[in-house]
Amino acid sequence: MQALYRKWRSQTFDEVIGQEHVTHTLVNALRLGRIGHAYLFSGPRGTGKTSTARLLAKAVNCLAADIQQRPCNECTICVAIAEGRLLDLIEIDAASNTGVDDIRDLREKVGFRPSEARIKFYIIDEAHMLSNSAFNALLKTLEEPPSHVIFVLATTEPEKIPDTITSRCQRFDFKRISIEQVAARLAFILGEEGLSAEPSALEYMARQGSGSMRDAISLLDQLTAYGGEVITLAKVREVLGAVASQTVIELIEALIAQNVAAGLDLINQVISQGVDPRQFGREIVEYLRAIMLVKLGGNISSLNYPNDVAQVMTAQAGKAEASRLILATKLFNEAVLDLKSGLLAIPHLPLELALIETLSQPAPKPQPQSAYSAQPAYSAQPAYSPPPPMPAAVAQPAYSPPPPMPAAVAAPPPPLPHEPYKPVTLTMEVVRPYLGQIIGEVMRKNKTMAEVLTHDAELYKVEGQEIYFVVATNWKERFEQPQPQAALNSVFSQTLRQAVSVRFVSKEVLSGALKESKG
């Protein structure tokens, strides 16, 4: 029996869902006779990259006289491609054919003319898995291919494709498919299969697909095999081992109330009922993310939740602290990643630890006014007067490193506003008092990073939501790696209670620029 995602694979460009920017361009190129010799299709899994490549292979080889009707899905070539028996359509899985010998074999066969079709078509899936030597072997062929050959490279990680390869291809970026579009497609497939489903069940399956049509259709296939003519939300949750939304709501309520015992009880009750910890964790992260976005000013209607759930989310967002929501979302997301390893003695332990750690770390709270009676309020301070204008380059004699930054500030920084939430306009004067607290948080994650920020970094400037530090070039390169950069952004955002990005300026480059301006 054929899987649903294969049975309902797109057979025309109009059936490709959510990628109109790609299909429109390809259809126009076909009509104008301007098809390229090499394409790079990049994007998340299950968004139609390989299906579109097959459609392109059909269209360029279709025997229909009217170009507007290609692919016709009726001629011998279209039927052969649909049935997977056209010898001139070669699909290569780069994940299992990564070596240079595989590509050399391909290069030797490229020169042979097609046996049935006009154009020999190569689809290289997961192209980023090719080795460097294999890419080098492919390079010359992509640069000067025979006129009877077209290449399509499909990948989920385009950043791993060498620039020399990318520059020789026409690149199309496929995007995640919206929940509405996925749900509509699922409803169509069910209708054709003589079945039906509750709208809430379709939306749930679409949401679980995470923008991947193939993943969502695979879930639907699993549900149809379960039996019954009508697919209900309860049945979907039962088959997928999912937890009811009410349980997630109760867990978040316990988290907001800082009730560790109630939260741990809920987690253990859910797991004892046979719910998959990974599925439970994903639902918690999705729910926390939604509340966090609402708390920070997002539009609840854009999140596609039922009205009753949206109302509960809005109420919970009003009660929760933004910093704790950010922390909880981060820690539960890390817990889901830990759960994927499958090597845990207690499968739900990461979820318990995420809850405990979220509630064990203090979140900033409003301070009573009397605590700062000896100091004027922040708004009562005289307005900051900027220094006189300087030339295009900063008019300082030469860069000299700043004195060591204290490990912690002597006086507590002024409280940031809490309810209603309104982000503070960031300036050097706003950020500086919090550096000690921030460095303390960084110390818990990375001692070396904290020491560099303390002794070898200088707060340089603040522009909008970007905070700049001057550091040595070697530290700049290290801090700008994805993991440390994300960690710093997270700590600064949690402490300042708004999304910020930390940027770095090279001490050596800045010093050289100052010397040139002085000269």
Q: What is the pLDDT of residue 369?
A: 39
Q: For 186, phi and psi rounded to 5 degrees? A: -60, -40
Assess whether pLDDT exceeds 80 at residue 141.
yes
Cα–Cα distance measured from residue 293 to residue 309, given in angstroms and rounded to the nearest whole number = 15
Average pLDDT, the chain: 83
Q: How far is CA 174 from the centre of its chain?
A: 14
Q: What is the pLDDT of residue 416?
A: 52
Mean pLDDT of 489-510: 85
- The sign of the CA dihedral 421, 427, 430, 436 is positive
Assess whether pLDDT exceeds 90 at residue 119.
yes
Q: Is 134 helix (H, G, I), strand (E, B) or coil?
A: helix
Assess whether pLDDT exceeds 90 at residue 223.
no
Hey, what long-range contacts does 389-395 have (CB within 8 A, 24 or more apart)?
A: 391/517, 392/517, 393/513, 393/514, 393/516, 393/517, 394/510, 394/513, 394/514, 394/517, 395/517
**What element of type H or E holds 458?**
strand 458-463
Assess whether pLDDT exceeds 70 at residue 373.
no
Residue 278: C-alpha distances to residues 44, 249, 403 (Å)? 21, 17, 48
**pLDDT, tens digit, for every residue of 196-212?**
899 888 988 888 887 89
What token pair was written down for 497?
A: 């209670």
Instruction: Report percent pLDDT > 70 for the chain.
Output: 83
90 Cβ contact list (under 8 Å, min separation 6): 120, 121, 122, 123
Mean pLDDT of 98-124: 89
Mean pLDDT of 75-86: 93
Q: How confident is the model at residue 338 (pLDDT cuts 50, 70, 90)?
A: confident
Mean pLDDT of 357-379: 51
Q: What is the pLDDT of residue 246?
A: 79
Q: At what angle do helices 349-360 and 245-256 cross, to 10 degrees?
A: 30
How many Å from the N-terminal Cα to the C-terminal Cα in the chain? 78
DSSP 8-class letter at 72: -
**pLDDT, tens digit, for every residue of 187-197?**
999 999 888 89
For residues 308 and 316, the answer to whether their CB atoms sit within 8 Å is: no
Assess whether pLDDT exceeds 70 at residue 519.
no
Closest CA to 233 of 225, 221, 223: 223
Pairing of strands 458-463, 466-471: antiparallel
Cα–Cα distance measured from residue 462 to residue 468, given in angstroms and rounded to the nearest whole number = 6
Q: What is the pLDDT of residue 122?
A: 95
Q: Is 420 helix (H, G, I), strand (E, B) or coil?
A: coil
**pLDDT, tens digit, for every residue of 382-396?**
444 444 444 444 444
Place of tokens 């990974």: 278
Cα–Cα distance measured from residue 270 to residue 243, given in angstroms and rounded to the nearest whole number = 7
For residues 170 and 38, the answer to whether their CB atoms sit within 8 Å is: yes
Q: What is the pLDDT of residue 34?
A: 92
Q: What is the pLDDT of residue 481?
A: 82
Of the segments 40-44, 222-226, 243-247, 418-422, which one has the largest average pLDDT value? 40-44
What token pair was written down for 76?
A: 């011998």
Q: What is the pLDDT of residue 23?
A: 95
Mean pLDDT of 165-181: 93
For residues 124 and 92, the answer to whether their CB atoms sit within 8 Å is: yes
For residues 148 and 113, the answer to whether their CB atoms sit within 8 Å is: yes
Q: What is the pLDDT of residue 367?
A: 42
More confident residue, 231 or 273: 231
What DSSP string runs through 316-330?
Answer: HHHHS-HHHHHHHHH
Quick check: pTM over 0.75?
A: no
Instruction: Report percent pLDDT > 90 for the chain.
Output: 39
Q: What is the pLDDT of residue 403?
A: 55
